[in-house]
A and B are shown apart, each in its own frame.
Chain A
Amino acid sequence: MPSIFPPVIMAAMGQRGELYSTRIFIDDGQKTFFFNVKENRYHDLYLNIVESRKSDRGFKRTSLVVFDDDIDRFMIVLERTMNEIRRRKGSPEETLTVGGGRREYILRMPPRGKPALQLTEKREDATGYRRESLIIPVDSFDIFLEGLGKAVSALKNA
């Protein structure tokens, strides 16, 4: 699949194979979200959301993946859940199952701590599941959606 980006730009940002990459900083720079558009070896395009945070033992990364076929449904569920959390409307919880049941996204507000969205991807592998959970604080929803929106546009145009 041809890329919308010239080879020079792709080379500059493609150290990890990204077709597009953008990032946002939250929590006074303690936490960074990367939104990477990538292509796998089967030429499937996907969005990789990576949270990188500083800890005593270096940087910790947590990442989840959304394929381009599922991105529209994912965005609808994400924005709906974020709005419910903003309005403090109960304890919202949404589940989106894709990929024939092999991949599931769980969006909910954690019962403890500051109001936030806990975004979990549950993906099946040969021996079990892998669960990756990101926490997006409610006061960072706008900047998160802004970065995510740019990446989704790049994904759709790629």
Chain B
Amino acid sequence: MNYMDSLGIAIDGGRYVRIDSSINDLYRTVRLRTIRVGQDSAKLDFYVFRKKGPVVRKSVLLKGLSQNGDTSTELTLKVERRSFAVWEITARKPDGTVEDIRVRTGIGLWPLIIAAVALLLFGGWLLFRLVGGDSPVVSSPVSTVSEITEKIEPAETPQLIESEPIETPAPQFPTQTIVYFRPESAKLSNAAMAELKTLAGLIPEGIGIEISGHCANYGTERGRRVLSRVRADAVADYLSGLIPFSVSIDVKGYGGSRPLNRDSELQDVNRRVEINLSGDGG
């Protein structure tokens, strides 16, 4: 899972740019929210929203952005999941140097508990197989490795079977992209438009596209449904204009019925439009 974004910024000092770029999986959302721009530097603020637990904030200061007195530059950001709990954000500066930021997303204890239980069950099953497996109760307890190995019948020599390598082609396009909106607004931000432009270049011909709009849990049910539909239609209209081939797009408005987060302070993540691509459309 990775996400790339190019941000053009003016480094003339004292500016504060609000950005809404994010990447998420089942457990958390990593979001670039703000860029504070200095004379020759930019400070990027990332937030990690989790389903449970506090919001984690991570900042990084990039220096040496000005090239030959230029007052504008471009940063290329890449977010990659390094492990289950650690995401790495790479910022490539215009001079080619790279800054690494590691974000520990803190996924809680449940996965560790589940892994420990699974390990215990597997160990028990392995022991059961080693001592014969006829009865769950070991009638003649063994105490040494040699006693255990004596009880193991010689296994048949494994035979190599030649077979065609199994190919599982990974999709060459992002199956889901999310763009975010400001409260009570269906206007596409510059970041959203840039994201949709990138996406349009990756969509292959013959793909099925479903665009679903969502909104925060405020206002009336009818108002939420209308706003979510208008948001989805704004994305569909912009995206379809960028696709140079025939395409079918399903546009849905789900209102606030499918929130990503029910916390009243984290409703920003619900103000979104999801673009789902599947290989069976067309």
The answer to whether B248 touches A132, judged by C-beta atoms less than 8 angstroms apart, is yes
List, in ascending order, chain A residues with CB within 8 A of B242's CB: 110-112
Residue from A55, A56, A57, A118 in contact with B241 in the complex, judged by beta carbons closer than 8 Å: A118
The answer to whether B206 touches A131, judged by C-beta atoms less than 8 angstroms apart, is no
List, in ascending order, chain B residues with CB within 8 A of A57's CB: 206, 279
The answer to whether A110 touches B244, judged by C-beta atoms less than 8 angstroms apart, is yes
Measured between alpha carbons, how far is A56 from B205 in the docked complex, in Å?
10
The answer to whether A131 touches B244, judged by C-beta atoms less than 8 angstroms apart, is no
The answer to whether A113 touches B206, judged by C-beta atoms less than 8 angstroms apart, is no
Secondary structure at chain A's binding surface: helix, strand, loop or mixed? strand
CB of B249 within 8 Å of the partner chain:
yes
CB of B251 within 8 Å of the partner chain:
yes
The answer to whether B236 touches A130, judged by C-beta atoms less than 8 angstroms apart, is no
Measured between alpha carbons, how far is A120 from B236 in the docked complex, in Å?
11
Q: Which residue of B lies closest to A91 (CB)?
A: B241
Shortest distance between the CB of A85 and any CB in chain B (Å)? 14
Measured between alpha carbons, how far is A56 from B282 in the docked complex, in Å?
12
Also in contact, A127 and B206, with CB within 8 A (given A134-B246, A135-B246):
no
CB of A97 within 8 Å of the partner chain:
no
Measured between alpha carbons, how far is A127 from B244 in the docked complex, in Å?
27
Chain A, interface residues (CB within 8 Å), range: 20 to 34
Measured between alpha carbons, how far is A132 from B233 in the docked complex, in Å?
13
Q: Which residue of A lies closest to B279 (CB)?
A: A57
The answer to whether A135 touches B244, judged by C-beta atoms less than 8 angstroms apart, is yes
CB of B50 within 8 Å of the partner chain:
no
List, in ascending order, chain A residues with CB within 8 A of B244's CB: 110, 112-114, 116, 135
Q: Mark B204-222, 1 if CB is under 8 A from A, else 0.
A: 0110000000000000000
The answer to whether A55 touches B246, judged by C-beta atoms less than 8 angstroms apart, is no
Name the residue in B242, B246, B279 with the highest tally of chain A Cβ atoms < 10 Å from its Cβ: B246
Residue from B206, B233, B243, B250 in contact with A55 in the complex, judged by beta carbons closer than 8 Å: B206
Q: Which residue of A lies closest to B228 (CB)?
A: A128
CB of B232 within 8 Å of the partner chain:
yes
CB of B252 within 8 Å of the partner chain:
yes
List, in ascending order, chain A residues with CB within 8 A of B236's CB: 129, 131
Also in contact, A128 and B243, with CB within 8 A (given A55-B282, A60-B282):
no
Residue from A60, A130, A133 in contact with B243 in the complex, judged by beta carbons closer than 8 Å: A133
CB of B247 within 8 Å of the partner chain:
yes
- Pairs A–B under 8 Å by Cβ, sample size 15: A53-B205, A53-B206, A55-B282, A56-B206, A57-B279, A110-B242, A110-B243, A112-B200, A112-B244, A113-B245, A116-B244, A128-B251, A129-B229, A131-B247, A133-B246
The list of the 7 closest CB pairs from A to B, nearest first, reads A113-B244, A60-B282, A128-B252, A129-B251, A131-B249, A55-B206, A62-B246
List 17 extra interface pairs beyond A118-B240, A128-B250, CB under 8 A. Answer: A55-B282, A56-B206, A60-B205, A60-B282, A62-B246, A62-B247, A110-B242, A113-B244, A127-B252, A129-B229, A129-B233, A129-B250, A131-B240, A133-B243, A133-B247, A133-B248, A135-B245
